[in-house]
Structure 1
Amino acid sequence: MSLPKLTLSIFILIFVLSTSFIHAQKFKFTEITKNDLEKTESTIDSTAGVEILEFHKFVYFDVWTHSTNLVTKVYKKVKFYNTNAEDLNYATTKIKLYNKGGLKERVNNIKGVTYNLVGDKIVKAELEKSQIFESNKNKYYDEVVFTQPQINKGSIIEISYKVESPLFWDMDEFKFQFDIPAQSVSTEIRTPSYFEFNQIPKGSIVPNYKHKKERDHRIKGKVDVYHYSAESIPPLKKEEYVDNINNYKAGVLFELVSIKYKNGSKKRYAKSWNDVAATVAFSDDYKWGINKVKYFKDDIDVIKSATTDSLQRMKMIFKFVKENMAWNHYTSKYFDKGIKDALSEKEGNVADINLTLTSMLRYAGLEANPIILSTRGSLKPFYPTVDRLNYVVTHVWVNDTGYVLDATDKFSQPNVMPIRAYNWNGVFMDNDNEKWGLINIQQPPMTNKMKFINVELDESGKAKGKVKEILDNHYAYLLRKKYSKISQEKYIQEKESEQRNMLIEDFKIENLESDEELSESYTFTMENSFDAVGNKIFLNPLLFLSSKKNPFKSEKRNYPVDFIYPFNNQLIVNIKIPEGYKVESMPEPIRLEFAGSTGEYEYALSGSGQYLRLNINFKMQESEIEVDQYDFLREFYKQMTTKQQEQIVLIKT
């Protein structure tokens, strides 16, 4: 939950509202029957280990003379068909509460009961206060955690609680779909009529919807009442190659658009992307804070004097920030410490680092501007929103070429940002030229991998060979990150295990500390590299690289396939077959295409005498494949995977 900056006018509106108190709907725990506890599987998904029987939310505004709270009441009833570790996670409730700058969210009225069938009797186990734990997670959030006791196969739990939040403009998402089945879900939201919200639906399930206006004497005015409900909702399960599964679970988002005052004037918020850009661009951080150059002037003057080449200046300043400022893992589009303190402490949040980078590039004479966006761990901002944009990166023009930079990760490169920063579009802000709007940074540049293998086989099945692999862009970025976290010995052990327990020697990695192509080479020995039957050898020419499974198992998919980045993988394998053998048969060449030239796969095997050569080119030009192309993509991968299982047959001469 992000925290936008409030204007004084909002608080003035709150102060003049009359004192009132809303007696909200109360959720009553229901009667649990023996039949409920004896039920052995979900009627929605028979494979489910856990099922939501009921999930209800009731949201309203609690208005007092000097404050307004957003109140959320939650009730849920959950059935356990199994009790493995994954299923038992649903017995634990975690409630995140904002707590900073005098704005503190609170949870109260926590109630929980576990029902079990013991013999013919229904036995209740109530949640005790001693089983509720509150802790400080970080400088922005507290967390309350509790776990229902005595969960057994067949148990049913009921939970209810109330959250009071002073962040009345920032509603959580209202969810109708989960990763387990749900029998009944409903939400009622009551908002003062002078608050205008965008209602943003998401997911493929359309809930029942009702809206009405009614006068509420408790706030001495009219309220809008929104009611959503859905029944028998299947789970949305995570599959391979998905960005953030929560983007596609059915729900609705409420975004504050405007507040209408008694005199007829209106305070407008994010109605369009230009409104979003203007809201952030005219904040103090982006008008004044970003221009405090005196705190780094001397350092950047040294870089300016070292080169007049714009591209080289950009790279030197980018490297300077990465080496002198560490990310503290907090995301925000606003400064936390500001340029002065972040440079002094050599640490800061995303905005501290990347807005400082933007300021330095401008001081060096380059055209640099911020781009605010939402990270992959957050929801995609398909509609104009300020609150859900939680990150900022730097855009810079050099010699008519645009580069996007993120200095929070020392392994990032120009146009090769951390994966978290690729999540649909960003909002570009050029205050000097009054240019604001969406900019597409969804797809990273093509990333390339070239792998060369030379291998010699003997009649016993032993394979000896050499491997060289060359990587660039995100392939190189990800390998550098992985390599930085473990020892070389551990890295080699993992590689040996992944590649059929081969023995790796003479390992060498080059350009690990630079932004150039990364190369890796080693020699290997592998036992049982083929199957021998009688006087024949059955050999897969991909050796330890063949893919046995199609990653796309589901017949239908309700959300896009996300590869993160487009890629081009090339493989060349040179094989020397054992003495005294010749080729009896080998796989035919094949060329596959998907969606025109979006996906391409070429497989070609040739040979002469004792030597065989395999060439494979596999390219995916787009990083995201839409749902309507899923069937074709699945078939494309099926044919490719089948081809990779075909074998060469060698016969003894």
Structure 2
Amino acid sequence: MTLAQNTIPFGDFPIDELRNKVYASDPGADAIILSDKAIASVNFDGKDFFVELVRNTRIRIVNRRAFDLANVTLSFYTDDIVSKYRASTFNLQDGKKIETPVPKKSFIREKTSNYRYSLKFSFPNVNEGSIIEYSYTVRLSENALYTLYPWRFQSGIPVVESIFTVVYPEYFNYKSVISGSATSVKRTHRESDGMFFGNRMNIYIETWSANNLPAFRDEPYITSRQINLTGVRFELASVNFPSSSRQDISATYEKLTEKLLDRTDFGRAIANAGFLAKYAENVTHGCKNDLEKLKKIHEYVSTKILWNGLEDFTASASLAKVFREERGNSADINFILIAMLRSQKIKADPVILSTRSNGPINQLQAMEQQFNYVVAYVMADGNFYLVDATDPLRPFNLLPSECVNGYGRQISKYESNFVELKNDEKYSVSRNLNLVLDRNGELSGTLKTTYSGLSAYDFRSQIRFAGEYAYHAATKFNAADLSISEINLGNLHLRDSAVVEILKFKVKDRAQHAGNKMIVNPFLTFFIERNPFYQEERFYPVDFRHPKEVFLTITLTLPEGVEVLEIPQNASYILGKNDGSYRYTCSWNGKEITVTTMMKITRTTYPTEEYRMIQDFFSKIMKKQSDLIVLKSL
């Protein structure tokens, strides 16, 4: 039974499209998606229902900066069967539309994981003004029957037309959810007749469309690109076949738990890892309590097993093989962590989750496809911790920021619940700046910065990526107004400790002279952050991810023969309903001027309606930090 003739014309566009006219809605665009169309239909092959997807995408290459779009990678699940595919480049030559097809031998299939493969190809003869077009037909894996196909109307480049059509028999009841700009999407519904085992039935045809969508623009502090892109996704809520009662299809988390515990790449993988007990015993020798054991085992696993960069919630191989080869995906590593903790009688369960870039989970429907990561849920000495061992620089009680995404699901035979994905992580920076001013207006001093929690992890990651020498060079380059003579880093290799950085420096011509007066701003430009909320309009919610606190103490020692005429007034600002705060104090004791500031952000997410409030809060901080101290030479 085929419900629809799923065909989308290929190369069917007017020759005028090849004249590379300026796109009025975005004249500076490097490329434009002229059309992106797909039809997903539920069909029956005499044995099983399945979903067939036909897709056609057409892109105009406006200039050379978009040439990389000519290299395409399509990703599929291992069980997806691609039956038809083609691609061509179109150019205007002597007033005619010339097509250059991609040869079949140039399509390369490549396995990317145990569950996915990619189809890669490159367009030939691409020039400024070329139109590239590709299409394919794929029979999606059986799980697609429950979710159809998630569709994105929006992209990183402008989209002129995006149309997604779903076709299914009346026996199926699908729910849909729109993400991003719901007002940009239009939906139409119509019905046609069909037959199923001799019974007449209705076929539902729903079309979702959007036109002239702007390119997605990243904004500071967004949750993730995927969540904010305009799109639509589907879930099968129920089925109701003739001569049978309505059956709710939505999978339950109880069933999912049973299934996962019985899988060889999940529950059984952990249960059959008894060989790890002797290693756990050696690692924890001499530990006095479970928390010490947790720290030791976490350090051992995160250091021994190299993460291959693949995110998954199921094991890629036997844990014995992963342990022997010392390399695995995120699930391999965290399953080894859980198995070693359990061997020491420490309660540890897997928590499956969806990362930020993958979107939030649905707590009402337990669809396997929505999960792509797993961490350990551990009880040690009466306290629970969410633990990830994929990075040797990350302390045991810090989750990857990508994993801080609402709720995950604890998978356990005896206790299975939703778990909030956080550990009281906090981004904390404390600075102590000691300055000495001479009569010529030159400053010298030391800046001691203490990075704690997430800021310490970020600092260590930066050093790992660039190296200490490159970090020193970048620091001196970024602080061009300072003459830095010394940089010292402390606790860099003690991952559970705060990182301490000490700079020694001099600054010439920091003070402005006006007769016998000197005007000084003690806030060095080196550590004054630009207001991240400078845009007049905000399109997406603000997400700080974690609570944040920044402390600063400045001590300015004045030279003999200089008195204070004016110091900044104290100030205090509140964000929302005590969602954050900023305090500024300035005092003079006859020899030294002391400035202290404290900024705290306690609430981490804000809807776009509250953007002006946040913008105003940070604008006040930036303005206050520009206040000047006025001195007079006697």
Alignment identity in percent?
Answer: 20
Aligned to 1:358: 338
Change (3 A) 1:268 1:293: farther
Change (3 A) 1:345 1:38: closer
Q: How does 1:176-575 map to 2 (within 5 A)?
A: 176-191=153-168, 197-206=174-183, 207-216=185-194, 223-256=203-236, 270-274=250-254, 276-303=256-283, 306-382=286-362, 384=365, 385-431=367-413, 433=414, 435-442=415-422, 444-500=424-480, 502-514=482-494, 515-545=496-526, 547=528, 549-575=530-556
What SS does structure 2 have at the residue aligned with 1:377? helix
Backbone CA RMSD of aligned residues: 3.3
Aligned to 1:600: 581
TM-fit CA distance, 1:70: 4.1
Change (3 A) 1:198 1:354: farther
CA contact (8 A) 2:330 2:374 kept: yes
Q: Distance in 1 between matches of 2:211 and 2:101?
A: 28
The Cα offsets for residues 566-589 of structure 1, whole Å up to 9 and x where unpaired, read as 111101111224555433333222
What SS does structure 2 have at the residue aligned with 1:296? helix
What SS does structure 2 have at the residue aligned with 1:413? coil
The Cα offsets for residues 253-285 of structure 1, whole Å up to 9 and x where unpaired, read as 124556778995999764455555454345344
Q: Distance in 2 between matches of 1:260 and 1:340?
A: 46
Corresponding pairs, count: 623
Change (3 A) 1:278 1:291: closer
CA contact (8 A) 1:274 1:437 kept: no
Q: Distance in 1 between matches of 2:442 and 2:83?
A: 65
The Cα offsets for residues 8-57 of structure 1, whole Å up to 9 and x where unpaired, read as xxxxxxxxxx7x696422324344254883642323x4554544333211
TM-fit CA distance, 1:601: 0.8
What amino acid maps onto 1:555 in structure 2? E
Aligned to 1:650: 631
Q: Distance in 2 between matches of 1:607 and 1:127?
A: 77
TM-score normalised according to structure 2 size: 0.88
What amino acid maps onto 1:585 in structure 2? E
Aligned to 1:589: 570
Q: Distance in 2 between matches of 1:256 and 1:505?
A: 65
CA contact (8 A) 1:605 1:613 kept: yes
What amino acid maps onto 1:416 in structure 2? L
Q: Distance in 2 between matches of 1:338 and 1:147?
A: 40
Aligned to 2:82: 106
TM-fit CA distance, 1:181: 3.3
TM-fit CA distance, 1:161: 0.6
TM-fit CA distance, 1:632: 0.6
The Cα offsets for residues 533-554 of structure 1, whole Å up to 9 and x where unpaired, read as 5544332211134546421133
CA contact (8 A) 2:58 2:132 kept: yes
What amino acid maps onto 2:110 in structure 1? N
Q: Distance in 2 between matches of 1:536 and 1:462?
A: 14
Q: Distance in 2 between matches of 1:245 and 1:519?
A: 34
Answer with 615-624 or 340-349: which moved more.
Answer: 340-349
Q: Distance in 1 between matches of 2:289 and 2:560?
A: 59
TM-fit CA distance, 1:401: 1.5
CA contact (8 A) 2:399 2:422 kept: no
CA contact (8 A) 1:198 1:256 kept: yes
TM-fit CA distance, 1:214: 4.0
CA contact (8 A) 2:18 2:131 kept: no
Aligned to 1:27: 9
Q: How does 1:79-90 map to 2 (within 5 A)?
A: 79=60, 83=63, 85=65, 87-90=66-69
Matching of residue 72 in structure 1 with residue 53 in structure 2: yes
What amino acid maps onto 1:24 in structure 2? N
Q: Structure 1: which 5+ runs fail to align?
A: 1-17
CA contact (8 A) 1:54 1:185 kept: yes
Q: Distance in 2 between matches of 1:569 and 1:618?
A: 5
Q: Distance in 2 between matches of 1:373 and 1:168?
A: 22
TM-fit CA distance, 1:600: 0.6
Q: Distance in 2 between matches of 1:315 and 1:263?
A: 59
The Cα offsets for residues 143-171 of structure 1, whole Å up to 9 and x where unpaired, read as 4132464432xx36251311424424245
What SS does structure 1 have at the residue aligned with 2:546? coil
Q: Distance in 2 between matches of 1:599 and 1:322?
A: 35
Change (3 A) 1:194 1:412: farther
Q: Distance in 2 between matches of 1:224 and 1:442?
A: 43
Change (3 A) 1:488 1:546: closer
Q: Structure 2: which 5+ runs fail to align?
A: none
Matching of residue 628 in structure 1 with residue 609 in structure 2: yes
TM-score normalised according to structure 1 size: 0.85
Q: Distance in 1 between matches of 2:424 and 2:542?
A: 15
Q: Distance in 1 between matches of 2:197 and 2:207?
A: 20
Change (3 A) 1:92 1:68: farther
What SS does structure 2 have at the residue aligned with 1:323? helix
The Cα offsets for residues 186-234 of structure 1, whole Å up to 9 and x where unpaired, read as 1112235555544232123242223455444699875443211223334
What amino acid maps onto 1:336 in structure 2? S
The Cα offsets for residues 79-116 of structure 1, whole Å up to 9 and x where unpaired, read as 55x5262x4455554322444xxx35437432334345
CA contact (8 A) 2:188 2:207 kept: yes
Change (3 A) 1:89 1:69: farther
CA contact (8 A) 1:373 1:391 kept: yes
CA contact (8 A) 1:369 1:396 kept: yes
Q: Distance in 1 between matches of 2:182 and 2:345?
A: 51
What amino acid maps onto 2:118 in structure 1? D
Q: Distance in 2 between matches of 1:375 and 1:212?
A: 36
The Cα offsets for residues 277-335 of structure 1, whole Å up to 9 and x where unpaired, read as 45434534444322124211212233565334121122222222222222122221111
Change (3 A) 1:648 1:150: same
What amino acid maps onto 2:438 in structure 1? D
Change (3 A) 1:172 1:509: farther
Aligned to 1:5: none
What SS does structure 2 have at the residue aligned with 1:358? helix
Aligned to 1:15: none
What SS does structure 2 have at the residue aligned with 1:396? strand
Aligned to 2:75: 96
Answer with 268-277 or 465-474: which moved more.
Answer: 268-277
The Cα offsets for residues 607-651 of structure 1, whole Å up to 9 and x where unpaired, read as 244522111101101222233322211111111112222322334
Change (3 A) 1:453 1:201: same
Answer with 164-173 or 566-575: which moved more.
Answer: 164-173
The Cα offsets for residues 403-445 of structure 1, whole Å up to 9 and x where unpaired, read as 11001111222331222222221111221x2x32321115752
CA contact (8 A) 2:550 2:600 kept: yes
